[in-house]
Copies of this chain bind each other. A is one copy, B any other.
Amino acid sequence: MNDLLLDSLRDVIGGGKVSVQETDKQTHAHDESFHAAHAPDAVVWPESTAEVSAVLRWANANRVPVTAWGGGSSLEGNPIPVRGGIVLDMTRMDRVVEVLASDFQVRVQPGIIGDALNKQLKSTGLFFPAFPGSSDIATIGGMIANNAGGMYAVRYGVVGDNVLQLEVALASGDVIHTGSRSIKNVAGYDLMRLFVGSEGTLGVITEATLRLVGVPSGKITLLVAFPAIEPTLDAVLGLLGAGLQIAALELMDSRYIHLVNQGKRLGWQEAPSLLIELHGLLESVAIELPMIEDICGEYAGVIAQTATTTEAQNRLWDGRRAVRHLVRTLLPGMGVLAGDIGVPISQIPELFRQTYALGEERDIQTMAYGHAGDGNFHCWAIYREDDADAYQRATAIHEALTGWAISVGGTAAAEHGLGLGKRKYLPKQHATSMPHMAAIKRLFDPNGILNPGKIFPDENEQA
């Protein structure tokens, strides 16, 4: 971008909201993935829908790439501005616009951070239930644009399932409204769902209306250890089929727990384990405990911990959540390919078998954990950052697992999106529908200015 272009951008939104400083560009050059950084030409902080619209209109006229930016916590390079241009940092649009408590709804700007929203909702007795593990950093807009999943998907669905309305600024600068404040709505095509998970390639979300649910009076969190993965899945099927009030059903393998034990000194049994959380009336969830013990016991699962206080529950969740950050301290100099795949749940045991066998074949440390309730798993391949060959071997494992997931009817991207790292799998996973996705992209963004280089593979690139 030359100075003339930059000056015209400053005219559009005001010079104080545009930065070309190297530090600002560098903090918007990479997400939390292993993908190479690429700095934008400028960072822009819009403060209203009108400003987002004006910047998009300008960018469209000048063919400048625009990549929307939330918390920067993506894991597939989704917001890396690989073609330069501007990053639209949405974090100044971080207000709760309106709490509609007697509708169980809230209107928010896209830049609000997940945990901050729930903190502001606390006095209402309601909360937004569908946050991903990164809700301390991730913004609502980013979560919607990536249709993030989360721990409580078994009970409450994922982020996209809890969005009722979206205001979206298109590449043309036009602002459209989609969805309805009626929970049930079937008036015309569901455009809203096109924007959910579109990773900022079809438009920029400028406001969202979200569904809320009541904070349950009773919560019980359990850690259950099993002798092997197969019986763990049997228990998962039994638990899911029994109609229990399960809000979370997380599966961690023994390798994962080994890492957690090292970093957190939790002293958990290093065995395949389920972290189960029940939500409901206190009396009503309490009465389900013997049933859970029975079902798990049938498959030799032993309840290691039962947490009924918030403090004890947080300790358990800390073990589940902290491992991403532990890698850096426990495994200095190591990188992680944190593969995110989804499979039909009957395939979970095979997912672990593949993860281990591929690791042994290629002499790479592997492990897996994830959301057993919806078949969404993270298969880690850990490599030495200074060992290019190890990185290649880890990549090969990652690719084999992703290809396998697609072959059993699963997905290359369960909750992290295709972004940069997984875009090459789109033709394989959606061979017949990809041309129609591309046509929709051209419809909404004929000049290809919105987050270019994502979701769709480059020519000649294939899995």
Q: Which A residues form the contact surface with B (CB < 8 A)? A: 100, 102-105, 125-126, 146-147, 149, 153, 157-158, 160-161, 165, 174-178, 180-191, 193-194, 196-198, 202, 213-218, 237, 240-245, 279-281, 283-285, 287-288, 291, 341-346, 371, 373-376, 405, 408-418, 422, 425-426, 429-434, 436-437, 439-441, 443-444, 455
Establish whether residues B126 and A187, one from each chain, have CB atoms under 8 Å apart when the complex forms. Answer: no
Establish whether residues A244 and B177, one from each chain, have CB atoms under 8 Å apart when the complex forms. Answer: no
Q: How far is the CA of A149 from the CA of B186 in the complex (A)?
A: 9
Q: What's the minimum C-beta distance from A242 to chain B, rounded to whole angstroms?
A: 6
Most B CB contacts (10 A, CB to CB) among A181, A218, A346 go to A181
Establish whether residues A158 and B177, one from each chain, have CB atoms under 8 Å apart when the complex forms. Answer: no
Given contacts A102-B346, A184-B374, A187-B422, contact A241 B126 (CB under 8 A): yes
Contact among B153, B182, B244, B284 for A409, CB-based, below 8 A: B182
Establish whether residues B444 and A436, one from each chain, have CB atoms under 8 Å apart when the complex forms. Answer: yes
Contact among B185, B245, B426 for A245, CB-based, below 8 A: B245
Q: What's the minimum C-beta distance from A423 to chain B, rounded to whole angstroms?
A: 9
Establish whether residues A410 and B177, one from each chain, have CB atoms under 8 Å apart when the complex forms. Answer: no
Establish whether residues A413 and B187, one from each chain, have CB atoms under 8 Å apart when the complex forms. Answer: yes
**B residues near A196, Cβ cutoff 8 Å:** 190
Establish whether residues A194 and B193, one from each chain, have CB atoms under 8 Å apart when the complex forms. Answer: yes
**Number of identical protomers:** 2
Contact among B237, B284, B415 for A184, CB-based, below 8 A: B415
Task: Please name the residue on chain B nearest to A202 by beta carbon.
Answer: B189
Q: How far is the CA of A205 from the CA of B411 in the complex (A)?
A: 22
Given contacts A100-B344, A237-B102, contact A186 B243 (CB under 8 A): no
Establish whether residues A186 and B191, one from each chain, have CB atoms under 8 Å apart when the complex forms. Answer: no
Task: Please name the residue on chain B nearest to A193 by beta carbon.
Answer: B193
Given contacts A243-B216, A284-B245, A439-B443, contact A411 B102 (CB under 8 A): no
**B residues near A188, Cβ cutoff 8 Å:** 418, 426, 429-430, 433-434, 437, 455
Q: How far is the CA of A431 from the CA of B188 in the complex (A)?
A: 11
Q: How far is the CA of A133 from the CA of B420 in the complex (A)?
A: 45
**B residues near A175, Cβ cutoff 8 Å:** 432
Task: Please name the residue on chain B nearest to A409 by beta carbon.
Answer: B181
